[in-house]
Amino acid sequence: MSQRILVTGGTGYIGSNTAVELLSAGHEVEILDNLYNSKIEVLDEIEQITGKKPKFHQVDLLDEAGVTRVFKEGNFDAVIHFAGYKAVGESVDKPLEYYENNVTGTLHLLKAMRETGVKKIIFSSSATVYGVQESPEYVETMQTGGHLSNPYGRTKYFIEEILKDYSVADPEFQVCLLRYFNPVGAHPAGLLGDDPNGIPNNLMPFIMRVANGHLPELKIFGDDYPTEDGTCRRDYIHVVDLAKGHMAALDHLKPGVSIYNLGSGKPTSVKEIVTAFERARGEELPKSIAPRRSGDLPEFWANPAKAKAELNWQTELDIDDVMRDTLAYIAKHA
């Protein structure tokens, strides 16, 4: 049954790919974004893929009146909330801006939802909320919020706690917390790739910038970790699989708080990622070993069993699919 969905951060990497899946499933989509870390041209790419261009609101979540106005006009059934600053390193240098933008912005969003009777929200959370755990395989029952290494991760944790508290205050409220691992890849049309404004933070955007000549070489942050090849291992998930996880979450929303890991369940090392990219490209990537990056954990990955059991969702695309789609994106956005 078609629903009216507001996607905050919907011109961003994961938000735009989720908007495509929502539109393709027949839902009506509107996007709220301040374009701080995305480009308005993404709306055209969404239209190229789906034939539909979502109504766009260039609104900052810190503009409480503006957010409320969008909701008063929108008649939304649900919200998928992606909007937020997400650079781990930057959050250490700018904690006040991260707490204001991510946490206060979310409070404005929730107050606008309350004022207009919107009772369903899917929140873009992160594996970061697990902090340091005994086991590198994360399950949803693990304690969160301990030993978080940066303000960014703490904003995600605080927002999860705010949503839990609000669902107690309003028993009709339906919350799904989706904890992403490492989103990578692009839409197979070679569109909607991970292309942040400014200097990237994550591995794949760096690889893309080196491949298209915008950066001289890839620096591998440490090869002396206690892993098989000495580089860190992460659970990389194709962004289209991740977007489909949001569709599954939307279809299973219910009162209270549901929490799911969205990951493949299979860790891949930095060297394996680089090798897979070089194999797909048919050419070596300029690279060198650099010192470890502070805050990096040697390895962690998702136990995705709960999403499989309750959402009937699991990843279907693999690292080679990621590299194929990433190269298609680079070819269209050189």
Active site residues: 152
Round to whole Å and give the CA distance between 123 and 80.
6
- Which residue's CB is nearer to ligand WQD, number 49 or number 276? 276
- Closest to ligand WQD by CB, 222 or 255: 222
Helices (H) and strands (E) in the chain, counts: 12, 15
| Calpha distance 154→144 (Å, rounded) | 10
Q: Which residue intervals of the chain are DSSP H helices?
A: 13-24, 42-50, 64-74, 88-93, 95-98, 105-116, 151-169, 203-211, 239-251, 270-281, 305-311, 319-332
- Quick one: 26 or 213, whose CB is closer to ligand WQD? 213
State the CB neighbour count (10 A cutoff) for residue 131: 18
Residue showing the smallest CB distance to ligand WQD in the complex = 232
Are 32 and 7 a contacting pair, CB within 8 Å? yes
Minimum separation from the CB atom of position 89 to ligand WQD (A): 9
Dihedral of alpha carbons 162, 163, 167, 168, sign: negative
Q: Three-class SS of residue 228?
A: coil
CB atoms within 10 A of CB 316: 11
Rounded-to-integer distance, Cα 281 and Cα 299, Å = 26
Q: Which residues are at the interface with ligand WQD (CB under 6 A)?
A: 86, 88, 126, 128, 180, 182, 201-203, 206, 218-221, 232, 234, 270, 293, 296
Question: 149: which 2 tokens?
Answer: 């290494």
Contact (CB, 8 A) for 49 and 26: no
